[in-house]
A and B are shown apart, each in its own frame.
Chain A
Amino acid sequence: MSSQVAFRSVKEIPGVDYYTAGRRTCAGCGPALGYRLISKAAGPNTIFIGPTGCMYVANAHQFLTSPYSVPWHHTQLGGGGAAAIGVASALRTLMLKGKRKLEDINVVVMGGDGAMADIGFSGLSMGLSYDYQRLLYVVYDNEAYMNTGVQASSTTPWGATTTFTPAGKVKPIGNTRLKKNMALVAAAHPKVKYVATATLWPPLDLMNKVQRALNSGGPSLIHVLLPCPKGWFSSPADTVNLSRLAIETGMWALWEQIEGHFKLNYRPKPRKHVREYLTLQGRFSHLKEEDMDKLDKMIEEEWVFWEESAKVGRLVVPY
């Protein structure tokens, strides 16, 4: 499989939405924008699985309406990996046994960072070790447990305050753990067909990655950084802007691994100082200049590995 392009320009983005009106996410919700683009890219022959989280609770609720115009099923917070295997297995087996007509159907899990990087981690890993096709795990990463009121997850960045990791007099930094890299974890599964990172910007990058993942011939994972105004204490108007700044400051690296081959999708040149990204978000407001410099240094060190990986065409693990 090649890194084919399904959507060459915004004009080619289909007008039809499979994630439509009737939701009650916050204004400027990154995961909701992500859902919209991802479901457009996946198309109508798709089943979505939604582990508990904002994309469960803040959708399909009021007056029993649903924003999904493709089949959608809730699964428990830790059940995303397994639920998708159940769906994929049922489809394949029913087709194999002649109980259902043969057809390509996408199974897409839209799981939060809490759902996929923490409680559902082992089920996700199991899912990536099977050979079901058209199976995509999207880790929609808003960098905390937002639905329960902004608690740290294992993908919360260093220095962010959350309600479980507040910055205080004795603990001035807030979250002191380093962000878990779910795409690297996925890439560590032998023979995983497709792994990528993405964010809302550029939108075509995200949509084409969804296409490539679904056509990759095996299970795949896309780790998507999606700003959350509520948990990031940012302006709803800045959601896409923050996605872009995450890329331009190097805080979020856009890459993909296609059948073991690594490709860096974007190089920030010149790389902006991470301060530009951090100062738009209240969750970093307690950080001092030297803390921001420290974070910038961490980014610089990490990028040596992304560049090295790009050069050799294989992942060189940065940690």
Chain B
Amino acid sequence: MSAIKPMPPITIEKPKAKVWNGARAIAEAVKIADVDVIAAYPIRPYTGIMNALASMIANGEFTADIIVADSEHSQFEIVKHASAVGARVFAGSSGVGLAFAAEAIIVTALSQLPVVAAIGTRALDDPGNFGMEWSDALMFRDFGWLISWAKTVQEASDMTLVAYRVAEDRRVLLPHFIALDGAAITHVATPVVPVTKEQATNFLPPYRPPYKLDPAEGPITKAQHIAPSLIGPEQRKAVDVATKRAKQVIVEAWKDFAKYTGREYPPFIETTGMEDAEFALVSMGAYMKDIELVADRLRKKGMKIGTVRLRYVRPFPAEELLKVLDGVKAAGVIEFGYSFGSPFGTGSLYHEVATTLYEAGSKPELLDFLFLGGREPTVEHFTQVAEKVMESAHKKPQKKAYWLTLRGEDI
């Protein structure tokens, strides 16, 4: 009898990185998720995703019906109803395109249909502005969509797969937006490690809706007219409960994602240097890379500053944020979205952070830094922001919100 041979070491095959821009990387994730119905309508900067999908389908790389719609309103109605039938679907848009589709977008969440859509964030008209702003995506903060915000092309692609897993979970059944900072993610090419077909199959079960619009499932009546006296508030509560349940499902999904792909992400909040930080820069999206760079430089000079990145705005990770900001003397919110005439002239993300901090035992000085109208920020601007935040700890600031990149009057 021969000796027992030692087992060869287990190797996880690591797919080679590809150089893809954000649009392509998202499209690849949609392909690997085996999406059935896609509806497209052009508006930049998101359009490239649909261009990529259309050519993949045309070349037989995967089977899906891509419908060239007549408008964003139709685009979102198409995927909403395809989802009701039981198809896995994908759509997306930017800026005024989303505004045009608002009605269809809102009813999708209230019908609890797990549509996944990408937003290449863009300033809203008028005037026509191709710059990056968050106002289009944040417009849909209040209607039951889950909203995640990617920092890198790799993360955007991975988030797409996770979005399907979370949205389609029976405990959730809510639509999901993946926000990509327009141009900074959509148009920037970086090395991306794709999710393999095998990883995707393990991670993402097929979409099995509890009720399908299909004669084989019997007669169902969906979204019928209701009397508020019957189930008005209960129906709203059901959607709210689903958004709250999504928090747990998101945690599980990212854990499983790490298990199958080896790529780990903190589910809700990513921090750098926050362990002993006295100052924090709070933001999200692609410019986080620059903000982290600035904070890192200042740290090397001995400043106790850290960064906090939100990966989701809906559901909003309030408890997690409170925990990381605990003990911080001053924090600055850096954002690209605004609400005209808002309290103290502050931005949309500030309102979320300030509301959260209202519950804090000791509140840090909170300032808001606004990059509006799509003009490109630079590392210099973020450095100014950090200095202002640190200064506010010993010198009372004159105002809550500061506009940057503004010609004439600045910080």
Contact = CB atoms under 8 A, between A and B. Distances in A.
B379 interface: no
Given A47-B214, A83-B77, A97-B63, 19 more contacts: A47-B85, A60-B224, A64-B230, A70-B215, A71-B219, A74-B225, A76-B77, A79-B103, A82-B75, A86-B67, A86-B84, A87-B84, A89-B67, A89-B78, A90-B84, A91-B214, A123-B71, A126-B69, A126-B74
A70 B219 contact: yes
Interface string A41-65: 0001111010000001101111110
Nearest to A96: B63
Contacts of A84: 81
- Enumerate the 7 nearest inter-chain pairs by beta-carbon distance, A residue then B residue, closest first: A86-B81, A82-B74, A66-B221, A90-B85, A82-B77, A90-B87, A60-B224
Interface in A74-111: 74-76, 78-79, 81-87, 89-94, 96-97, 99-101, 103, 105
Contacts of A311: none
A306 interface: no
Contacts, number: 163
B86 A100 contact: yes
23 contacts: A47-B215, A56-B224, A61-B225, A61-B227, A63-B230, A64-B224, A66-B221, A69-B219, A71-B217, A73-B222, A73-B223, A75-B77, A79-B73, A83-B80, A85-B78, A86-B77, A90-B86, A93-B37, A93-B63, A105-B215, A122-B71, A123-B70, A130-B67
B226 interface: yes
A145 interface: no
B85 A87 contact: yes
Interface of A: 44-47, 49, 56-57, 59-64, 66, 68-76, 78-79, 81-87, 89-94, 96-97, 99-101, 103, 105, 122-123, 125-126, 130
Given A92-B65, A123-B73, A72 B87 contact: no
What does DSSP make chain B's interface, helix, strand, loop or mixed?
Answer: mixed
Given A56-B225, A66-B224, A125-B70, A86 B219 contact: no
B234 to A, nearest CB: 11
A58 to B, nearest CB: 8
A80 B314 CA distance: 30
B103 to A, nearest CB: 5
Contacts of A79: 73-74, 77, 103-104
A244 B246 CA distance: 57
B82 interface: yes
Given A61-B225, A130-B67, A94 B74 contact: no
Nearest to B223: A74
Contact of B224 (A74, A85, A101): A74
Contacts of A100: 86, 214, 216
A97 B63 CA distance: 7
Contacts of A89: 37, 65, 67, 78, 82, 87
B138 interface: no
B402 to A, nearest CB: 41
Given A87-B213, A122-B71, A97 B36 contact: yes
Contacts of B87: 89-90, 93-94
Contacts of A96: 63
Nearest to A84: B81
Contact of B215 (A44, A94, A122): A44
Contacts of A44: 215
Contacts of B73: 78-79, 82, 123
Contacts of B78: 82-83, 85-86, 89
A86 B230 contact: no
Contacts of B227: 61-62
B64 interface: yes
Given A44-B215, A126-B74, A86 B80 contact: yes
Nearest to A101: B216
B220 interface: yes
A85 B69 CA distance: 10
A197 B124 CA distance: 43
Contacts of A76: 77, 103-104, 107
Nearest to B220: A71
A71 to B, nearest CB: 5
B70 A73 contact: no
A108 to B, nearest CB: 12
A73 B225 contact: no
Contacts of B74: 79, 81-82, 85, 122-123, 126
Nearest to A77: B103
A82 to B, nearest CB: 4
B215 A45 contact: yes
Interface in B199-256: 206, 213-227, 230-231
Which residue of B78, B80, B214, B220 has the most chain A CB atoms within 10 A of its CB atom? B78
B114 to A, nearest CB: 13
Contacts of A105: 214-215
A47 B218 CA distance: 10
A73 B107 contact: no
B385 interface: no
A276 to B, nearest CB: 37
B79 interface: yes
B123 to A, nearest CB: 25
B39 interface: yes
A89 B104 CA distance: 18
Contacts of B103: 76, 78-79
Most buried by A among B75, B80, B103, B226: B80
Nearest to A69: B219
